[in-house]
Amino acid sequence: MKEIIAIVRLSKVNTTKKALEKAGFPAFSCRKVMGRGKRAADDGFYGDSKDLSGLPLTLASEHITEAFRLIPKRVFTLILKDQDVETVVKTIIRSNSTSNPGDGKIFVLPILKAYRIRDGKEQQDSETY
């Protein structure tokens, strides 16, 4: 069993949902997150002055003055059989790639055990999740 964690652009949520369903993977969790990548925010747009403390306190001024602005993203989580990982990863990449920084990341993690809450039964790799 594997867990797929995919962080994608907010604007790509519906495209991702439709692509996963079409590929035969309609079961997933999706949640709102805020985050950023490794790149520092480009403050060149705002001029040479680093002292922007005189700006009125608004959402826009907060974004301008925050050196490492957080961006709204969505995280998809899927639990899959090992043989389905490649298909899902390719599906997510195909539905989210714009060839620009910020398209997202996909992480694949092993699942050591899974239990059904209803009866406490341990689920095997061959069972449906």
Pick from 80, 86, 73, 85: nearest CA to 35: 73
User: What average pLDDT does range 1-6 have in this prediction?
Assistant: 96
Residue partners of 20: CB distance under 8 A and separation at least 6: 26, 28, 76, 78, 88, 91, 92, 95
Kindly give the residue spans of alpha helices, DSSP state H, lying in 4-116. 13-22, 59-65, 85-96
Q: State both tokens at 117.
A: 């809450």
> What digits encode the pLDDT tens for the residues 29-65?
999 999 888 765 454 444 444 455 555 556 555 555 5
Angle of helix 85-96 versus helix 13-22 axis, rounded to 10: 140
User: What average pLDDT does range 2-18 have in this prediction?
Assistant: 96
Quick one: pLDDT at residue 49?
Answer: 43
Measured CA to CA, the distance from residue 127 to residue 129 in angstroms comes to 6
Pick the more confident residue, 58 or 1. Answer: 1
Quick one: pLDDT at residue 54?
Answer: 57
What's the pTM? 0.74
> What digits encode the pLDDT tens for the residues 64-121?
555 567 889 999 999 999 999 999 999 999 999 999 888 999 999 999 999 999 999 9
CATH topology (fold) of 1-35+64-129: Alpha-Beta Plaits (3.30.70)
CA 112 to centroid of chain Cα atoms: 22
Quick one: pLDDT at residue 124?
Answer: 78
DSSP structural state of residue 10: G
Length of the chain measured in residues: 129
Pick from 84, 81, 82: nearest CA to 20: 84
Q: Taking 80 as the threshold, does the pLDDT of residue 128 lie above it?
A: no
